[in-house]
Amino acid sequence: MSMNDSQVKQSIIDEDKPETSQRSELVHLDPWQKLKEYTDSRIALGRVGCSIPTKPLLKFQLDHAEAKDAVLQDLDTERLVNDLSTQCHLTFKDMDTEAAAADSEKSDEPSLEQSNKVWELFKVMSQAENKSDYLKRPDWGKLLNTESSDKLEHFLEQSGTDKSYDVIMVMGDGLSARALEENGPKLVAELIPLFKEQGWSIAPLVIATGSRVALGDKIAERLNAKMLIMLIGERPGLSSPDSLGIYYTWDAHVDSHDAMRNCISNVRAAGLPIKMAANRLLALMKKSCELKLSGVDLKDEQELPTLDQSQPAIKLL
The pLDDT of residue 20:
46
Spans of the chain, pLDDT less than 70? 1-29, 96-116, 302-317
CA distance 273 to 209: 25
Q: Which of 238, 223, 286, 202 shows the shortest CA–CA distance to 67?
A: 238
User: 171: which residues sit within 8 A by CB, 6+ positions away?
Assistant: 80, 180, 184, 188, 205, 206, 207, 208, 231, 232
Q: What is the pLDDT of residue 101?
A: 44
Query: Residue 283 contacts by C-beta under 8 Å, 6 or more apart in sequence?
Result: 300, 301, 302
Residue 97, pLDDT score: 55
pLDDT digits (tens, 9 = 90+) for 22-55: 455 666 667 777 887 787 788 888 888 888 888 8
Which residues, other chains included, contact 67 with Cβ-Cβ below 8 Å and sequence gap of 6+? 236, 237, 238, 241
Rounded to 10 degrees, the C-alpha dihedral 251/182/245/289 comes to 30
> How many whole angstroms separate alpha carbon 100 and alpha carbon 94?
7
Q: Residue 147: which of 184, 210, 106, 96 has the closest Cα?
A: 96
In total, the chain counts a number of residues equal to 317
Rounded to 10 deg, the angle between the 146-159 and 98-106 helix axes is 10
The pLDDT assigned to 25 comes to 60
Note the pTM of the prediction, 2 decimals. 0.80
